[in-house]
Structure 1
Amino acid sequence: MNPLILIPARMAATRLPGKPLADIGGLPMIVRASRQARASGLAAAVAAGDAEIVEAVEADGGRAVLTDPDLPSGSDRIRAALQALDPEGLHDVIVNLQGDMPFADPGISALCIDLLARHPECDIATLVAPESGPDDRSNPDVVKAVLAMAPEGTEGRALYFTRSTLYGDGHVWRHVGLYGYRRAALEAFCAAPPSPLERREKLEQLRAMEMGLRIHAAVIADAPLSIDNPGDLAEARLRAGRG
């Protein structure tokens, strides 16, 4: 396998405009995310929707490519960056690492790559973590993954993703928004229109499932901090200050 990590980022975030360049302990958020990706030892680049993001990443020694700011999703953005960076098709696995997870462990991408390597039938790999508390079960902002778990309990095949409340006994798995795509799966996914379930739940991964693409998920101990609102940003700044 020849993986490539791509980090989509754009300035026009709805809930936190200018998020990629938000200062966290003296560094822009996207620079922290780029550094974590590069620390994995894998090829990595930022798929940027704005020139300011490219400038910030390149000033730190990272790699970035400017994409159309009007692309509808992060998946479309990484596909555009991939076409620009690798038109020869040398990279056969693409990891979509979110730019708003500035403290993600550098080894996190390898878990998705390993799933794809061990499961030839898997088209897309992702991650889940245990719920952080009982409120997660009814919180629509927490995306839940329904999995057919393997006997060892460390990974499973995804059956569904939902924002709805999950009832009954057993684990509730928080979905971690990181994906490893086989290149053909990424191309097929981006070429397809939004699906009915995707529009209903506002979850892109359901388009892949309605297309018949197979998703597997590995279990990690804790979900990385994802910065979606001012409160998350404040927490990130406290964490950077403690570091």
Structure 2
Amino acid sequence: MSTERLTQPFRVVIPARYGATRLPGKPLIQIAGKPMIGWVWERACASSADEVLIATDDARIAEVCTDLGAKVVMTRADHRSGSERIAEVVERRGWAAGEIIVNLQGDEPGISPALIDQVARGLVQHPDAGLSTLACPIEDANSLFDPQVVKVVTDRNGYALYFTRAPVPWHRDQFSRDQTLLPSGVPFLRHIGLYAYRACFLARYLAWPPSVLEQAESLEQLRVLWHGERIHVSEAETLPGPGVDTPDDVLQATRWLKARQ
């Protein structure tokens, strides 16, 4: 694990909305004795971030977060993505163009503070990248072929070539014979949905129209590649805990967190 200190301060913004399609009220779901958003906020506060904010348009989420002691920024209700919500926070707070912001999704109660630091450090170390993110190895075929697991392929320097829900890289010979085993020596990577970017990049990103690839895959990061900007992907120094998208994920996250209390 890297012990290198960050040379530039950063902030964490956690966008949180109530109306998730698969799990309405997801940020407030109780997991191992506290609302999920509380776990995420605590993880962010344990990082090296100079400031942690929760951005929401919902009074119920704001009340719970305020009771926890978190800083809350109320935003508009018409945002289509977490990045749009964070952009409103940037504008309202008057953050400078070079400010580094980590976008931490509110459904990652098991995220490691070390990964938050790592993704911010990755942006500092790669100033030619529009944003930085993380990935970890995929070690089983079920995950590779699961469309809910986002895969990423990078070049030799760690810059993203493509993100997809499809199984990539496709090993032609092995998978023509057997799709239950992963061939050795192939870099199968699962994307971890944690991002760092500068405030000026966020403004550019939101000015771009959605791309065809982004709409087909339902992956916002493809807009960045479509418009010719670079994304640096670092291999995660530690594995993240389970994220939460479904009722089954709630049970898994509860077991994971209770085992560590």
Q: Give percent identity, aligned residues only.
A: 38
Secondary structure of the 2:96 match is: coil
The TM-score normalised by the length of structure 1 is: 0.93
Q: Mark the structure with the bigger radius of gyration.
A: 2
Question: Does residue 67 of the first structure (1) align with residue 39 of the second (2)?
Answer: no
Structure 1 counterpart of 2:161, from 159, 162, 185? 159
Cα 1:90–1:196, aligned 2, differ >3 Å: closer, same or farther?
closer
**CA distance in 2: counterparts of 1:222 and 1:240, whole angstroms:** 14
Shift of 1:232: 0.4
Contact kept? 1:2, 1:91, Cα under 8 Å: no
User: Which amino acid is the alignment partner of residue 42 of structure 2?
Assistant: R
Residue aligned with 1:102, SS: coil
| Whole-angstrom CA distance in 1 between matches of 2:241 and 2:254 | 14
2:194 alignment partner in structure 1:
178
| More deviation, 189-198/9-18 | 189-198
Question: Which residue pairs with 1:237 in the alignment?
Answer: 254
Deviation at 1:132, TM superposition (A): 4.4
Deviation at 1:200, TM superposition (A): 1.1
In the alignment, residue 62 of structure 1 is paired with which amino acid? Answer: A
Structure 2 counterpart SS, 1:120: coil
- Provide the C-alpha distance between the structure 1 equivalents of 2:239 and 2:45, rounded to a whole number of angstroms: 21
Match of residue 200 from structure 1: 216
What does residue 180 of structure 2 align with? Answer: none
> Number of matched residues?
237
SS in 2 for 1:240: helix
CA distance in 1, matches of 2:31, 2:139: 24
User: 1:112 corresponds to which letter in structure 2?
Assistant: V
| Residue 91 of structure 1: how far off its partner (Å) | 6.2
**TM-score, reference length from structure 2:** 0.86
In 1, the alpha carbon distance for the partners of 2:228 and 2:63 equals 39
Give 1:218 deviation, angstroms. 0.8
Give, in angstroms, the shift of residue 234 of structure 1.
Answer: 0.8
CA distance in 1: counterparts of 2:254 and 2:144, whole angstroms: 27
Residue by residue over 1:27-49, the C-alpha shift from the partner in whole angstroms, topping out at 9 and shown as x without a partner, is: 11001101110111311111112
Is residue 135 of structure 1 aligned with residue 142 of structure 2?
Answer: yes
| 1:224 pairs with 2:241 | yes
Stretches of structure 2 lacking an aligned partner (at least 5 in a row): 1-7, 172-182
| Contact 1:127–1:175 (8 Å) recurs in 2 | yes
1:109-166 deviations in Å (ceiling 9; x for gaps): 111121121112111000001114111221111110011133xxxxx11011011122
8 Å contact kept, 1:35–1:62: no
